Amino acid sequence: MRLTRRSFLQVSGMAGMSAVLPQKGSHAPAPRTRTQLIASSLTQFVDPLPIPRILQPNGLRPSPSDSSSKIPYYRISMRECEAQVHRDLKPTRFWGYGGSVPGPTIEARSGQGILVEWANDLPGKHFLPIDHSIHGAEADKPEVRTVVHLHGGRVPPESDGYPEKWFVPGQSATCHYPNRQDAAMLWYHDHALGINRLNVFAGLLGAYFVRDEFEDSLQLPRGNYEISLLMFDRIFDLASQLNYPVSPDPQKVWTPEVFGDAILINGKLFPYLDVEPRKYRFRLLNGSNARFLHLSLGDGHRFLQIGTDQGLLPAPLEHDRIFLAPGERVDLVVDFAELNGKALLLNNDMLPVLQFRVGKNASKDPGVLPQTLRPVSKIVESSAIKTRTLSLVEVDDLKQRPVTMLLNNAHWSMPVTENPVLDSTEIWELVNTTDDSHPIHLHLVRFQILDRRNFDIGAYWSTGQVKYRAPAMPASAAELGWKDTVRADPGMVTRIIVKFEGYTGRYVWHCHILEHEDNEMMRPFDVLPAS
Ligand code: C2O
Ligand code: CU
Ligand code: CU
């Protein structure tokens, strides 16, 4: 095994915002088999878009941070379930939180903590192919292991869902989510070491909203006019069952990325949504294992972006398309007012995935969207006390197939190298030496994107030095809010600035392409107490 540099695919224009961005570099998608369902052959828009139910608490329990007060307690059981993803398909087996995919939506208020007991009530055998050569998934480990992470949550380390803190069927873990953070769309999903990609593919994900008074005061569309759209791609076989591809190499099971041709929205394929001719707020998540979404509305219809991963933007931005990497969320407002009686499509890569059917009568529209939303104060570079240069690397074998993805040439089990001090600010420079775009996510924190800058990969491999080839490009307007996941584009140094607020203890940072994350593209980091 040796380190190699594979053919570098130039990505032109505004990194990633271009519609011609290749879906992937040189990793050929697994060949389509004759037993695979061709999603585009299905009749479109015959099923209404399901709206995940809002979870109700199971009671009150003493707060772990202040036992004199009681906070809402929820219990969510992970179960095998069946769901029909399309009118003309048979029920599909899934693993879902609360027995549904996506799981139920959790609604929380900023500053008001909750407790969630996550119970593993899954069967003892996995129904997707485990690769026992992957770290953490060895044959002596139980097949079915789960641990839940609240993505985007500022959560104490013992409740963060550390990948090694998995538990098996019959066990549960109770997590404390203090919600001391701004209003935002978070999401919860499985994070078990070595099989995370399989557990999420099986259906273990759901939405979690933090609300606050500031957001309430903006009078954004809410209730029936605020809709979450949890999007994730899957592959189905001809029996309507999930088909997670294995490597064409008989020695291996792991595949570098999994792309499905079936894009589910809230668990349905090609759903439709009846809307009134007025403004709606849409909360989008890309919950795919590896697929980047390039979303637009039909007929070039424009829309407003009002938020990023970690909450509201300073002001609405108008777009005609949006780019969403795995793990990212976006907050949009679409105005259907001019579309009385018409239909509008939501497209991914120009292919329809959802149809809006605009009715003729609107209930009273609650006025206009505010011109300004939530101020985002820029973290100045000079406040950083440390800059870390961190490389993103692929390790290939002699057949030029990637076998592992690494952060900073380090494996998961190696000693911690990233150890910021609580409340300090750091700049992380993500040096992407691969030909893939990697969505890099840090637990615990929110951050801002500084810029991306093209560098000479060849020179980097021979000298270990970063030699820039072009001036830095600022983050795109769509990314200029608080983020927790950032696209590190190929051949670019992507710089983020992070204040490590919240808690001391052990967390993780990783690529959110779940196949990469499972195969070593994840590292622990420690937040150290200030001395
Ligand atoms: Cu959404 Cu560590 O993950
Ligand atoms: Cu996370
Ligand atoms: Cu990656």
pTM of the predicted model over 0.85? yes
Ligand nearest to the CA of 514: 3
442, 441, 432, 417: which is closest to 500 by C-alpha? 442
Q: Is the minimum distance from the CB of 189 to ligand 1 under 6 angstroms?
A: yes
Is the pLDDT at 505 greater than 80? The verdict is: yes
| Ligand 1 atom nearest residue 191's Cα | 2
pLDDT at position 461 is: 86
Residue 346 binned pLDDT confidence (cut-offs 50, 70, 90): very high
Amino acid at 307: G
Which pLDDT band, with edges at 50, 70 and 90, does 20 fall under? very low
Q: How buried is 368 (Cβ within 10 angstroms: 0-12 exposed, 13-18 middle, 19+ buried)?
A: exposed
Q: For residue 73, what are the CA distances in angstroms to 109, 165, 167, 210? A: 14, 21, 20, 16
pLDDT at 395: 83
Q: Check residue 7 and give its pLDDT.
A: 29
What pLDDT, in 10s, does the model give residues 131-149? 998 999 999 999 999 999 9
- The string of pLDDT tens digits covering residues 274-324 is 999 999 999 999 999 999 999 999 999 999 999 999 999 999 999 999 999
Integer-rounded Cα Rg, in Å, for the chain is: 22
Q: Is the dihedral of CA 262, 98, 509, 445 positive or negative?
A: positive
Ligand (nearest to CA of 430): 3
Average pLDDT score over residue span 104-110:
98
pLDDT by residue (tens digit) across 229-284? 999 999 999 999 999 988 766 667 788 889 999 999 999 999 999 999 999 999 99
Could you tell me if the CB of 329 is within 6 A of ligand 1? no
Q: Determine the average pLDDT of the residues in 22-49.
A: 75
Which residue has a Cα nearest atom 3 of ligand 1?
A: 151
Backbone angles phi, psi at 349, to 5 degrees: 50, 40
Res. 2: pLDDT tops 70? no
Q: Ligand 3 being an ion, which residues bring their Cβ within 5 A of it?
A: 438, 511, 513, 516
